[in-house]
Structures are given as structure tokens and as C-alpha cells.
Amino acid sequence: MQDVEPIVARAFAEFACSADAAQLENAKARFLGKSGELTALLKSLAALAPAERKSAGALVNAAKERIEAALAARREAIASAGLEARLAEEALDVTLPGRRRGRGGIHPLIRSWQRVEAIFRSIGFDVADGPEIETDWYNFTALNNPENHPARSMQDTFYVDVSDEHGQPLLLRTHTSPMQVRYARMWVERFRDAAQVPPIKVIVPGRCYRVDSDATHSPMFHQVEGLWIDENISFADLKGVYTDFLRRFFESDDLAVRFRPSFFPFTEPSAEIDVAFQSGPLEGKWLEISGAGQVHPDVVRNFGLDAEHYIGFAFGSGIERLTMLRYGINDLRLFFDGDLRFLKQFS
Amino acid sequence: MQFSEHWLRSMVDPPLGTEELARLLTMSGLEIETCVPVAPPFSGVVTGEVVTLAQHPNADLLKLCRVSVGAGEPLQVVCGAPNVKLGMKAPFAHVGARLPGGLEIKAAQVRGVQSGGMLCSARELGLSEDHSGLLALPGDTPLGRDIREILALDDHLLTLKLTPNRADCLSLLGVAREVSALTGALLTPPEVSAVPAVCDAVIQVRISEPQGCGRFAGRVIRNVNAAAPTPEWMRRRLERSGQRSISALVDVTNYVMLELGRPLHVYDVDKLSGGIDVRYGRRGEKVKLLNEQTVEVDETVLCITDDSGAIGLAGIMGGESTKADLATRHVFLESAFFHPGAIAGRARRYNFTSDASYRFERGVDFENNAAGIERATHLILDICGGEPGPSDDVAVLLPQRNPVRMRIGRAELVIGIPVPAAEMEAIFRRLGFTVTREPDAFVATAPSYRFDIAIEEDLIEEVARVHGFDRIPADPPVAPVQARTEPEAERSLHQLRERIAGAGYQEVINFSFVDPVWEADFAGNAEPITLLNPIASQLAVMRSTLLGGLVSVARTNLNRKCERVRAFEVGRAFMRDPAAPAGGLAVAGVQQPMRVAGIACGPASEEQWGIQARAVDFFDVKGDVESLLAPLSAGFERAAHPALHPGRSARVLLGGTPIGWLGELHPRWQKKYELPMPAVLFELETAPLTALGLPHFEEPSNFPPVIRDLAVVVDAGQPAKALLDALEAEKPRFVREIRLFDLYQGKGVPEGRKSLAFRIVMQDTDRTLTDAEADLAITKMVELLGHRFSATIRT
């Protein structure tokens, strides 16, 4: 029988110099194909004597296995070289900027508004919203602020050319306080048949309007009203809740908060709430942040409740003020002139 | 109200520094807004007199003076002030003196002449901006005395921001009473004693309206010298209270008003016609007031009248015809009490306010009329001389001071902490209340100067305030823990905001009042709700659409070289609606729905490598609107809107109900509002967007879907939505999705036609669909489209 070793050596050499899959397959055919050298050799075994055939067959089969192994190795090598080449070709400049989509954002005042909501929701307050064109009754009278009362000149009111059923012109609400009365009356109505009206705990953020326009006043601004009425909600509770709110809002446990006596027709005792920061550009300065107090019994009666059995507090805070202090914004007008360069800083 | 600390301390002088005093008042409810020294710090300045005066030998504009400071030799100084005169008294800064700003006076040679000090102007001492000459001092000023002492410069001006309920503190006496109550320091009010009459001159006074004028005290003083100068001390106190000195008689009335809180008026007796009657005005009656304004009164305005008619507005302002001037000989003093309800709002109606009306409408002490008139008489006699007639004090109807009961337990409930009963009683007494003790309560009656004590809470407030708000602890309340969460099936406005911001839009907040022109242009609204008192004509009407503000935002930002604008606003629109009923959250006669609106202007995506730049179009924004609404799915139908391009605007519908608009800004407005490129806008009601319901569960199918594409050719004007709606309506149960994925016009499609391609996904939940079933479904769809829309299969 012909010696197998030279065939194996040639196969190895031809596989090694096959540069791509096609050459390799041609080379394979020359050795392992139907008319390949090794196939021919295998066929020639039939002519041998049985004893000799067995040992020669083993020899040829071993050679075939070695050639097949070499073929597989070469196939693998060619394939991986091809992948390498493709990967190199596909390489990106990863430093190019990513595909950009326009970035939007929430207005800074709404950001504060959301934060105020989150804080009060976490202690069980509801959030309500109500009309901005209001009646004189809800905005003033129901809040113990009758016509001609000097307290009315504290707020200069915008009126519109639509009148209520008494012929009084409607107005743009000067504060969110009318919603105290609206919300409480709806609440009381809802529990009309209950033995006990459940606690009223609500905040009302929203737009308000006053005839006032200068560097520190905008004719439209935002307030958040708060109201908690139950059988025993005291002025000390107001101090506790509001102080905690301010410290959470500004994330400053050493924020100084003071309550000083003031006057609002719809609360008594009434307080003005000031804060002072312990660091930063406003350090140590008392800044007015809110008006508050125990809801006046006349107002509680306008809620539809017995003022002897239901007491509690209300507060109203300026969202612009909270936002300006929070972010160090120095000009109120920036909130309303739609400058995207300013607004996008908060997105 | 502004006042001098000196003046206050003349009535009550607690052992507190200025800052502490200001803080005490602020923390008791009398907010001290500002507290500023009368003069900046300086030293070494004394009173001097020019005893010789000569021309400077080397300078035309300079004088050479010798200045006496009392003891010792007069000192030689060079002076350039134009008003320097021989015998003049003026502030003199010694060598070594330190002037405001740190300037130290040194001995110097001025143009070759020795100068040992400096004569000063008011500005050089930081007292005013006056630098026209030396600050001239009165002739009787003693020499060599520290100018700070002579001019009382170690004083502060305090500005009190008083709340409307505390009219009792609109005077030095009122503030002093409060300080005394808070500190226990002795109150020494100015001494007032009755001045005996030396003649019997009277003016008859009739009070026709006791409900308006409850009390009227009057007195005639004859033969006064109305031209006498106001003394320096009074002038100074008035000036430090922000009152300009006018004439001795007017100054005295202002002084007594500031001192005792007692408004007075002084008439010229010779200008009065007959007696005085306090009555309501008559329609058509006119009065020329002291401020030169002529007002027409009516039967709601209380007037002081004589035989000639109305001569003044009671409690507000006197009239020109009877005013006392420098030539007046005989005067009549009025010291009246007018009920707050009869005065309130009247001055405002005439667009002015006065010190008197400010006080009367808040409440003036009705027991100090006589004291006021005696005090004024005393001062007038001192300054102007004269012969007083009898003081005539008539009280017809005074406010009641009813006893008010305060339960101790109620006070604790409201305040939140117990205040000892003994302290409560002491507080009431110090505040001048008469008080009696019951086992569980106090009954207190307010003094005549307090107009804010009517109910139990008023007393509780007094206790809390004087006890000190800062002594009430700020503890978190104890309350039952109850979770309150928003319903899951609804989304909040904040969630809508986050959604639209996520699509690249920046939130803005625009004013709710706009230019009427915007309403006409963007809403076709000729009758917007109009403000009766707008602050500016371009903010005169309530918006019924948010679009105008957004167009304006786009313009200002494009002008600032911002290339791409995506902005949105959430806010209310306002419309008249006579049929709109009142409700829990609704006001009759108006609709004020919450809306969300947006604008897109500029490139579809930010300019960048790898994305072909193109302008934003209708469908970009439609996609934004659709993803804002998702999972809700809206319909869009072509319709015209005043703000929008008539061929590129759509009404947005949800379940068949219109909820808003989407479209390209009308080219006419694009030009008028100076947008350099088209803009696409949308505006939607928010209420229909919030109700979502809970997610609806369906078991996913485990059988393979069959997907077929179907392309048909229809008329170019045929809305695609109609085909989709028809397919949806007629589809077999197992068709899960029909999606329009291609629109084509051009080669291969006849002129005037378009090709629409739909991808149809079919899948059953309990078995594998056969090809035959899928084919049949598609065939039926083709037939449907062919029959209803003349659609042909595109080949």
C-alpha cells in the first residue's frame, strides 16, 4: 500500500496555505473528496488481502482523522480571522455624541409645587384645585372680610365684566383661600349623614392675581393654601406642621422659623411666618414666607360646621418665594417671561 | 407709621436697646419694618457762632471767619459756604473731629491761611442731601454744645407696618401703651389738663346722624396769631414722623393726632356760615377739599356742613372754603368721633386717603375727644396765643364695649398649650381691659381704643400674642395615621406634565390675561371676559386659548437665537357662558377649564450628525399628542380653527367628543407675529385625559401570529382614518392589529391616487390559524375597501 504520511503532510501544507474558506474547501476535496487522494487510497484497500486490509485500513482511518482535525482547525482559524477583519471594519468612533432627542422640563414653580404636594401628601393631606375667576362671596365675604373693611385694601383686586347673581362683579381670586371654603363645604356635604365629619386635611396650590406689578410683585402669582380642621387642631399643631414642612422643603434641619402675631380677617390668632437660613447669602436674615393662623369661627361656620366643635389651622404661602429661596433666583419676572435658557436649568 | 424712638421713650422707657425694642414690638404683632438712625456716627462737632467775618486775602470765593464755641478764644477757619454771615450759628467741627464717612478734620493751610476746624453743612453731617450752605441753627442755640445733643441726633426712626385691626397703635401713646403692657415699664402719657375758658364764644353743633357721628367736641379760640412759627421741637418730631411742617395751627392738629391718636380739624371761624351740622351729603352737593380736589358727595357720604352746604368730608378731609390759614384770627377746633362703618371705603371711592380717614375707618378712641381738644388748646395758646372759649363735648351714640367671655379650657384647646390663669389675668390688665374671673373663664371688657375685641377668639389671640408665639412649642401633632392616595385609575396633571416634558417640551407659565388682539386672532373671540381694572392694555382680557402665549414664547426665544422651540403650558382658559351653573368648584356665568397646550417650531430634531435636518411638521406633533394621550386613543378630523392653517388643522376627539385642536399656525399669524418659520400647535382639555381606568388583562396567545401586508390604491383626498375605521369595524375576531405603515404617491400609482399599505396581524387565542382562514379574512377586507372606497389592490 502507498505510504499515507506524505499525503497527510501535503494535506497539512495545502490547508495551511489556503487563505480563505473557498481555497480550503478545494484543498479538502483534493484529499477527502470523492476522488480525493485519501478516498482513493481507501478504495484501493479492497484489493488487499483480508489480514493486510485490516491493519492498512486502521492506518488510513487514523490519517483521515488527522486530516479532518487539521481541516477543522484551519476552518476555525479562517473563520475567526474573517470575524476579526469584520469587527475591525465595523469599529465606531465612540466619542461621537449620542443621538440627541430634545430635552423638555418642568417649570421651576411647578417643581416646587410638586415638592410641596409630596411633603403634605406624606402626612395625609389631599390636594385640591379650584376656580380662578371667583365670586366676591368666596374670595372675601365667606372669609370674614366684608365689603368696605379696611383689610380689603390689603389686596388690590382685579374685577371682570361678568357679574354674580347679586350683581357683584366676579373677580380674579386674590389668594387660594376661597378654596378653603369650597373644599370644606363639599366635604361637609359629602359627610352630611355621618355622625362625625372626618378631618379636613387639604392643600390647594394654584394661580392668584393682584393689581400689583413691580420688581417684587407679579400681577399673577402662585400660592399654596393649607387647611386642617378637626376637633382639636391647635395653633401649636400649626407651628409643628409648618415648621416641619419648611425644614423638609429646604432640607435644612437647622432652619430657623419664627411665628409672629399678625392679622388676617379669616384667622385668629393670626401669624406671619418668617424663616432664616443658617448659611448661604441670606444667612441670619428673617424672610416672610407665609401667613397662617387658626381658622376664624365665622369662617368655620361658613364651612357648614359648628365652630364650637371644629377648630384648626390654615396657611397660605407664596410658591414664587419658596422657589426663589430654594434655588437662589433673584428676579421674580424670570418665572413668567418664558426664557427657555432660564427654564431649562430646572429640567 | 413712622416715629422717633426719642418721642416714644418720652412716654415709656423700658431697659431695652433700640434693636431689642424693635424686636419686642415685631414679635407682639406690631411689625417694625425698618429701624434707622437719624444721623450717621460722627464726633467732635459742636455749636459755633461766626463772630468775625472777612474776605480771604488770596481767594475770592472764600471767607475768613472767627468762630466762637463759648469758652476760650474764637477759632480762625476758612469757609467757602455762600450763606456764611456774621452772627450766624452753625455746626462747627473741631480739629480732631470725625465726620460721617471717616473724614478726620485736621488743622490746615487754606490758600496760605491757617484754618483750625470746619463749619458744616447738613450733608457733611449726613443729615440730609442739602449742601447749599452751612446748616443754620436758631439764634438762641447755646454755644459749644455737642451738635448731636442739640439736634437730638442719637435717635432712630422706626417704621411700623400696622395691621388693620390695631388702629389703637396709630399714635405714639398707642405704641407706648403696648410697650408698657409688654414690658411692665411705667407709662407716662403727656399731661393733659383742662384749659379754662376766658371768653364765651361757641359754634353751635348739631349731629343729625348719630349713626355716623357719635360724638363731637368743639372749642373756639379767639385772636390767635396763626402766623406764629412752629417751635423747633415740634417741627422735629413732626419731621421724624414723616410730616412736613405747614403752619402752627395745622402742625398742632397733626402733632396731637400723632401723639394721642386723636384726629382734629381746625376751621376759620370767620369763614363759617352759621352753625355746624353733621349729616349725610345730598346728591349733587360738591366740596372743594384741602387737597384741591373737588368731589361730589351723595347720601352715603357723611359731611360736615354749615349754612353754605357741605364744607368737608367728615373724618376724611376738611374743605378749602373754611380752612384756617396764616391770616386766620379766630379758630374752631373739631374733635369728633365718627363710626368706622360711616367712613370706611369713602376716601377710596374718591381715590385718595388721608391720615384722618385711615384712622377713623379702623377705629379711633371715642373717650379722648376732650383730652385731644384740651391738649391742642394748650399747644395753640403756647404757640399762637389766643382766648379760648368753653369746650363743648356732645356724645350722642358711642360704640358699646361688651364684656367678652373667654373659657380657660377653650384658650388651651386653640393655643395648644396651657397658659397659667394668673398670667392670662395679668395680660388683660396690662392691656387696659377690665376683667373679672369666673371659675373656668375670664370676662373682659376692652378699652375704648380697642376696636378688635368682640369674641372669645379675640381674647385668646391677646393671650397668645402677649404670652409670646415663640413660647408655644412647634411639636408635630398627634393624629390618627390614615393613608390618603390618589386613585390609580386617574392620572394627575403632574403626570401629564412629565409625559409631555419627556417628549422634549419645556413647561412655561404665561399670564392668564392677554392682549385683546390675541383673543381675536387666535380664538376668533370678539367678546373675551374683560378686566375692569387691567394693569396694562395688553393684559386686558382673560384668555380663552393658551395659544397666544405660546406663540409669544416661541417668538421671544427665536429672537434670542434659540433655533428649536418646544414649549407647553398647563393652565386655565376662561369663557363667558351665561348657562354655566354655580357648583362646588364652579362659578356661574363662566367656564374655566384646565388645558394643556404646546408649540413646536424649528427642526424636527436637534441639529446633529447622522440625522438629516428637516423642519417639524404636523405629524411630528400629532405623534407627540398621541403619546401624551396614550393609553387613550384619540380621533382627528379635519376642521378649521381661527389660529390654524385651514388645510393643516384637526379637531381632536376622544370617544367622539371634541377635546381640542392640533395644527399648523395660520401663515397669516406666522407673518403678523414674526415667526421666521412655521409652528405646529396643540391645545387640549385636560379633564378627559385624566380618567384612564385600570389596565385590562388579556391572556397572551401561545399560537403563532399570521402577518399579511395589504396595499391598496385610493383617491388622494381620501382620509386614511376612514379606511382604518372600516377595517376595524368589520374585522374578524382574530385580527389583533391593523397598522397603516406606508403611504406612497408617485411612479406606479396613477395621478390623483395614493397607495396605503396596511400590516394585518392575525392570531387566535386557542388554536393555530390556517392559511385558508387568513386568506379569507384578507379577501374580505379587500372587498370591503373596494366596495366602500373604490380601492384597488396595488400590484
Query: pLDDT tens digits, residue range B43-81?
Result: 999 999 999 988 888 888 888 999 999 888 899 999 988
Q: Considering only alpha carbons, which residue of chain B is nearest residue A274?
A: B27
Min distance B771 CA to chain A CA atoms (Å): 40
pLDDT at B72: 83
> Hey, are the CB atoms on A341 and B560 less than 8 Å from each other?
yes
pLDDT(A323) > 70: yes
Mean pLDDT to the nearest integer, A299-321 = 96
Q: How far apart are alpha carbons B147 and B143 in whole angstroms?
A: 10
pLDDT at B701: 84
Share of chain A above pLDDT 90, in %: 65
pLDDT band at A61 (very low <50, low <70, confident <90, very high): confident
Q: Give the closest residue to B662 by CA, choosing from B689, B622, B635, B627.
A: B622
- Which of A196, A210, A242, A260 is the best residue to mutate to test the B interface, defined by the most B CB atoms within 10 Å of its own CB? A260
Query: Helix or strand or coil: residue B332?
Result: strand
**Cβ–Cβ contact B454 with A under 8 A:** no
Identify the bridge partners of residue B92 per DSSP, sorted by sequence position: B46, B119
> Hey, are the CB atoms on A133 and B416 less than 8 Å from each other?
no
pLDDT band at A153 (very low <50, low <70, confident <90, very high): low
pLDDT band at A345 (very low <50, low <70, confident <90, very high): very high
Other C-beta atoms lying within 10 Å of the C-beta of residue A2? 12
- Which of B463, B509, B612 is the best residue to mutate to test the A interface, defined by the most A CB atoms within 10 Å of its own CB? B509
**One-letter-per-residue 3-state SS of A218-282:** CCEEEEEEEEEEECCCCHHHHHHHHHHHHHHHCCCCCCEEEEEEEEECCEEEEEEEEEECCCCCC
Share of chain B above pLDDT 70, in %: 100
pLDDT band at A154 (very low <50, low <70, confident <90, very high): low
Say if residues B541 and B530 touch (Cβ distance below 8 Å).
yes
pLDDT(A1) > 70: no
Q: How far apart are alpha carbons A258 and A243 in whole angstroms?
A: 9
Dig out the grid coordinates for B137 from the structure: 441753627
Question: Who among A159, A213, A297 is closest to B457 (CB)?
Answer: A297
Give φ, ψ of A216 to 5 degrees: -115, 5
**Cβ–Cβ contact B484 with A under 8 A:** yes
Q: Which chain B residues are closer than 8 Å to A162 by Cβ?
A: 529, 576, 589-590
Question: Who among B508, B572, B576 is closest to A343 (CB)?
Answer: B508
Dig out the grid coordinates for A287 from the structure: 424672610
Query: Helix or strand or coil: residue B567?
Result: strand
Q: Which of residues 502-541 of B touch A (CB under 8 A)?
A: 502-513, 529-535, 539
Q: Which chain A residues are closer than 8 Å to B458 by Cβ?
A: 268
Mean pLDDT to the nearest integer, B334-353 = 92
pLDDT at B73: 87
- Which of A157, A158, A254, A329 is the best residue to mutate to test the B interface, defined by the most B CB atoms within 10 Å of its own CB? A158
> Hey, are the CB atoms on A269 and B460 less than 8 Å from each other?
yes
Min distance A299 CA to chain B CA atoms (Å): 13
Q: Give the closest residue to B152 by CA, choosing from B240, B252, B278.
A: B240
Q: How far apart are alpha carbons A261 and A268 in whole angstroms?
A: 10
> Hey, are the CB atoms on B608 and A100 less than 8 Å from each other?
yes
Q: How far apart are alpha carbons A314 and A296 in whole angstroms?
A: 10
pLDDT at B455: 96
Q: Give the closest residue to B507 by CA, choosing from A108, A117, A327.
A: A108
> Hey, are the CB atoms on B475 and A297 less than 8 Å from each other?
no
Min distance A170 CA to chain B CA atoms (Å): 9
Question: Who among B464, B532, B564 is closest to A269 (CB)?
Answer: B464
Close Cβ partners of A78 (under 8 Å, ≥ 6 residues apart): A18, A19, A20, A21, A24
Min distance B345 CA to chain A CA atoms (Å): 5
Q: Which of residues 175-204 of B touch A (CB under 8 A)?
A: none
> Hey, are the CB atoms on B472 and A259 less than 8 Å from each other?
yes
- Indicate the length of chain A as a whole number: 347
Q: Which chain B residues are closer than 8 Å to A262 by Cβ?
A: 29, 31, 163
Min distance B343 CA to chain A CA atoms (Å): 9
pLDDT band at A60 (very low <50, low <70, confident <90, very high): confident
pLDDT band at A36 (very low <50, low <70, confident <90, very high): confident
**Cβ–Cβ contact B564 with A under 8 A:** yes
User: CB pairs below 8 Å between A and B: how many?
Assistant: 267
> Hey, are the CB atoms on A164 and B562 less than 8 Å from each other?
no
ipTM of this model?
A: 0.88
**Cβ–Cβ contact B747 with A under 8 A:** no
Q: Which of residues 589-608 of B touch A (CB under 8 A)?
A: 589-590, 592, 594, 605-606, 608
Share of chain B above pLDDT 90, in %: 84
Min distance A280 CA to chain B CA atoms (Å): 23
Read off the amino acid at residue A174.
T
Question: Who among B470, B472, B556 is closest to A338 (CB)?
Answer: B556
pLDDT(A151) > 70: no
Min distance B507 CA to chain A CA atoms (Å): 5
Mean pLDDT to the nearest integer, B190-216 = 94
- Which of B472, B553, B577 is the best residue to mutate to test the A interface, defined by the most A CB atoms within 10 Å of its own CB? B472
Other C-beta atoms lying within 10 Å of the C-beta of residue A54? 12
pLDDT(B732) > 80: yes
Identify the bridge partners of residue A261 per DSSP, sorted by sequence position: A271
**Cβ–Cβ contact B616 with A under 8 A:** no
Identify the bridge partners of residue B109 per DSSP, sorted by sequence position: B114
Q: Considering only alpha carbons, which residue of chain A is nearest residue B603?
A: A102
Mean pLDDT to the nearest integer, A133-162 = 85
Q: Which chain A residues are closer than 8 Å to B557 by Cβ?
A: 338-340
Q: How far apart are alpha carbons B176 and B168 in whole angstroms?
A: 11
Q: Which chain A residues are closer than 8 Å to B475 by Cβ?
A: 236-237, 239-240
> Hey, are the CB atoms on B501 and A106 less than 8 Å from each other?
yes
- Which of B529, B587, B595, B673 is the best residue to mutate to test the A interface, defined by the most A CB atoms within 10 Å of its own CB? B587
**Cβ–Cβ contact B301 with A under 8 A:** no
pLDDT in tens, B547-595: 999 999 999 999 998 999 999 999 999 999 999 999 999 999 999 999 9
pTM of the model: 0.88
pLDDT at A43: 83
Q: Using the CB atoms, write b or e for B373-399: b if 16+ within 10 Å.
A: bbbbbbbbbebbebebbebbeebebee
pLDDT band at A299 (very low <50, low <70, confident <90, very high): very high
pLDDT(A149) > 80: no
pLDDT(B596) > 80: yes
Say if residues A233 and B475 touch (Cβ distance below 8 Å).
no
Mean pLDDT to the nearest integer, A287-315 = 96
Q: Give the closest residue to B750 by CA, choosing from B779, B712, B724, B785.
A: B712
Q: Give the closest residue to B522 by CA, choosing from B368, B636, B683, B323.
A: B683
Min distance B369 CA to chain A CA atoms (Å): 23
Say if residues B333 and B342 touch (Cβ distance below 8 Å).
no
pLDDT(A231) > 90: yes
pLDDT band at A37 (very low <50, low <70, confident <90, very high): confident
- Which of A121, A122, A132, A231 is the best residue to mutate to test the B interface, defined by the most B CB atoms within 10 Å of its own CB? A132
Q: Which of residues 345-384 of B touch A (CB under 8 A)?
A: 345, 348, 361-362
Give φ, ψ of B382 to 5 degrees: -60, -40
Average pLDDT of the residues of chain A: 91
Min distance A131 CA to chain B CA atoms (Å): 6
> Hey, are the CB atoms on A211 and B533 less than 8 Å from each other?
yes
pLDDT band at B147 (very low <50, low <70, confident <90, very high): very high
Question: Who among A133, A219, A271 is closest to B535 (CB)?
Answer: A219
DSSP element (H, E) containing A209: strand A200-209
Cα→Cα distances B230→A313, A340, B327, Å: 52, 61, 15
Q: How far apart are alpha carbons B126 and B589 in whole angstroms?
A: 60
Identify the bridge partners of residue B708 per DSSP, sorted by sequence position: B760
Q: Which of residues 149-178 of B touch A (CB under 8 A)?
A: 163-166
Q: Which chain A residues are closer than 8 Å to B589 by Cβ?
A: 162-164, 170
Average pLDDT of the residues of chain B: 94
Rounded (10°) CA dihedral B1, B3, B7, B12: 50
Dig out the grid coordinates for A179 from the structure: 378654596
Beta strand pairing status for B302-306 and B118-119?
unpaired
Mean pLDDT to the nearest integer, B197-206 = 94
Query: Helix or strand or coil: residue B161?
Result: strand
pLDDT at A342: 95
Q: Give just the sign of the alpha carbon dihedral B83, B89, B90, B94.
A: positive
Q: Which chain A residues are closer than 8 Å to B27 by Cβ?
A: 258, 260-261
Read off the amino acid at residue A297.
P
